[in-house]
Amino acid sequence: MEVPVIRNLLEANDTIARQLRGLFRARGILALNLISSPGAGKTSLLERTLSDLKGEFRMAVIEGDLQTDNDARRVAATGAQAVQINTGGGCHLDGAMVLESLTALDLDKVDILFIENVGNLVCPVEFDCGEDHKIALLSVTEGDDKPEKYPLLFNLSKVMVLNKIDLLPYVDFSTERAERFARRLNAELLILPLSCRSGEGLEAWYDWLRQARAAKKA
Amino acid sequence: MEVPVIRNLLEANDTIARQLRGLFRARGILALNLISSPGAGKTSLLERTLSDLKGEFRMAVIEGDLQTDNDARRVAATGAQAVQINTGGGCHLDGAMVLESLTALDLDKVDILFIENVGNLVCPVEFDCGEDHKIALLSVTEGDDKPEKYPLLFNLSKVMVLNKIDLLPYVDFSTERAERFARRLNAELLILPLSCRSGEGLEAWYDWLRQARAAKKA
* pLDDT reported for residue A218: 66
Q: Is the minimum CB–CB distance between B168 and chain A shorter than 8 Å?
A: no
Residue B156, pLDDT above cutoff 60: yes
Residue B64's φ and ψ, nearest 5 degrees, are -110, 125
Q: Is the pLDDT of residue A94 over 80?
A: yes
User: Could you tell me which residues come within 8 angstroms of residue B185 by beta carbon, excluding any fewer than 6 positions away?
Assistant: B147, B151, B154, B155
Quote the pLDDT of residue B6: 63
Q: How many contacts, defined by CB atoms under 8 Å, are there between A and B?
A: 120
Q: What are the tens digits of pLDDT across the range B97-138? A: 999 999 999 999 999 999 999 999 999 999 999 999 999 999
Tell me which chain B residue has its CA closest to the CA of residue A163.
B141
Residues B149-174 have a mean pLDDT of 97
How far apart (Å, rounded) are the C-alpha atoms in residues A161 and A148?
A: 16
A2, A102, B5, B207 from A95: Cα distances, Å: 21, 11, 22, 48
Q: pLDDT grade, residue A8 (50/70/90)?
A: confident
Q: How confident is the model over A151-172, as pLDDT tens digits?
A: 999 999 999 999 999 999 999 9
Q: How much is the average pLDDT of A199-215?
A: 98
Q: From the CB of residue A212, how many other CB atoms can be counted at a distance below 10 Å? A: 17
Starting from the edge strand earliest in sequence, which strands make up the sheet with A190-193, in order? Answer: A81-86, A59-65, A112-116, A30-35, A133-139, A159-163, A190-193
pLDDT of residue A4: 60
Phi, then psi, of A103 in degrees rounded to 5:
-65, -20
The Cβ-side half-sphere exposure at A106, using a 13 Å CA radius, reads 5
Instruction: Give me the pLDDT at residue B117, please.
Output: 98
Residue A69 contacts B, CB cutoff 8 Å:
no
pLDDT tops 60 at residue A56: yes
Q: Which amino acid is at A147?
A: P
Residue A134 CA to residue A130 CA, distance in Å, equals: 10
φ, ψ of residue A119 to 5 degrees: the values are -65, 105
Q: Which residues of A touch B142 (CB under 8 A)?
A: 37-39
Question: pLDDT exceeding 70 applies to what percent of chain A?
Answer: 97
Choose among B109, B122, B133, B145: nearest CA to B190.
B133
Which of the four pLDDT bands, split at 50, 70 and 90, describes residue A5?
low
Cβ partners under 8 Å of residue A112, min gap 6 = A29, A30, A31, A32, A57, A58, A59, A60, A209, A213
Chain B residues within 8 A of A150 when measuring between CB atoms? 38, 66-67, 119
Contact B39 A67 (CB under 8 A): no
B78-87 residue pLDDT tens: 999 999 999 9
Q: b/e per residue, B66-79, with b = 16+ CB within 10 A?
A: bebeebbebbbebe
- Does residue A25 surpass a pLDDT of 90? yes
* B147 touching chain A per CB within 8 A: no
Mean pLDDT of B29-46: 98
B1 pLDDT tier (thresholds 50, 70, 90): very low
- Pairwise CA distance, residues A5 & B5, whole Å: 8
Residue A1: the pLDDT is 44
Q: What is the mean pLDDT of residues A138-163?
A: 97
Across the interface, do A5 and B9 touch by the CB < 8 Å criterion? no
Q: What angle do CA B7, B13, B17 make, to 5 degrees?
A: 140
A3 pLDDT higher than 60: no
Do A38 and B150 make contact, defined as CB atoms within 8 angstroms? yes
Contact: B149, A37; criterion CB under 8 Å: no
CB contact under 8 A, A149 and B66: yes
Residue B148, chain A, CB below 8 Å: the answer is: yes
Residue A92 has pLDDT above 80, yes or no: yes
For residues A177-205, average pLDDT: 97
**8 Å CB contact between A137 and A41:** yes
Side chain identity at residue A20, one-letter code: L
Q: Which residues of A touch B90 (CB under 8 A)?
A: 122
Which pLDDT band holds residue A184 (cuts at 50, 70, 90)? very high
Residues of A in contact with B67 (CB under 8 A): 148-151
